[in-house]
Structure 1
């Protein structure tokens, strides 16, 4: 599959996610989803970190195999800044990028005391369920404002990449589709296979 021609695939979504294997190796995987909802494993590239060079190598491989960089499609990423930067460099500054909401919530909770988890999760879930991106953004900004006094670092983390957390809402996708495309779960089956095959 690493050399397959991609020009015949009508991909609407490309998800890119990294998988850490031990201390020294990261595998960055790309999976495409077509208009019928079928998943297509596209590529796998290894690197020391999930940095811009590793990601750029993956994207260059996809384009060289026929993924047209002029066709608009949604990109789903785990939140690494290197991913967004490389995607915009390759597919244009207007390429819609959705950051994984699960990764974002996990990162926020890891930095908050346990007693704040339930209320913060509730606000995030409520915002992500809204059909109005402006209202969702307002809810998230209010959460950051409330936390800013005691945990300014967490508040900054909440606001970082805010525009990319609500992309699927701004695109006005149906709620069922938003749930699938708001996180990097599409790649979990492939990542599970990689973990199983490489565990020794």
Structure 2
């Protein structure tokens, strides 16, 4: 219906697949049966638990967190240029163009930053899930930032 609602609040605990699965199963048992998309920032075990409880839902990795993590591993002098090249990927008008922009990014930076580029290659499918949705809502679902501001 176009609004956010906090469904529960949990304090502490271990960030493991088992711990997250318990939380998600509680939500499921309370009536959260149909989830279309989970947006995550890469917390250990969360995606695995989500896929177990909601196997039909899509998963989107937070692009903003991924960019930040990548830039923290890039030399200062390259950070702006790498950031601009990454924007060409996640701001592309469609998935095909995003994949082309990633190929250019990969060609340009893989010799200098092989781990960082490989990390994007390994996670590209969950980083670009949002590209399957209408462009009007993409900016809302490609990051967890809106969720984090809720609390």
TM-score (norm 1): 0.69
Closer, same or farther: CA 144–83 of 1 in aligned 2, 3 Å:
farther
Instruction: Give the alignment partner of residue 103 of structure 2, picking from 138, 141, 146.
Output: 141
Residue correspondences, number: 151
Query: Hey, what does 2:42 align to over in structure 1?
Result: 79
Closer, same or farther: CA 182–67 of 1 in aligned 2, 3 Å:
same
RMSD, aligned α-carbons: 1.8
Closer, same or farther: CA 98–142 of 1 in aligned 2, 3 Å:
same
* 1:44 and 1:58 in contact (8 A); partners too: no
- Deviations for 1:134-174, whole angstroms, at most 9, x for unmatched residues? 22022123313322212211112222311011111122x12
> Is there any run of 5+ residues in structure 1 with no aligned partner, and where?
1-34, 192-200
Closer, same or farther: CA 56–185 of 1 in aligned 2, 3 Å:
same
Q: Which runs of 4+ in 1 moved over 4 A?
A: none
TM-score (norm 2): 0.88
- 3-state SS, counterpart of residue 6 of structure 2: strand
- 3-state SS, counterpart of residue 98 of structure 1: strand
- C-alpha deviation, 1:127, in angstroms: 1.7
Higher-strand-fraction structure: 1
* 1:74 and 1:96 in contact (8 A); partners too: yes
Query: Hey, what does 1:42 align to over in structure 2?
Result: 7
2:123, 2:52 → 1: CA distance? 17
* 1:99 and 1:182 in contact (8 A); partners too: yes
Query: Hey, what does 2:25 align to over in structure 1?
Result: 60
Q: Does 1:167 align with 2:129?
A: yes
Closer, same or farther: CA 132–81 of 1 in aligned 2, 3 Å:
farther
Higher relative contact order (Cα pairs below 8 Å, separated by 6+ residues): 2
Closer, same or farther: CA 179–145 of 1 in aligned 2, 3 Å:
same
1:120, 1:158 → 2: CA distance? 12
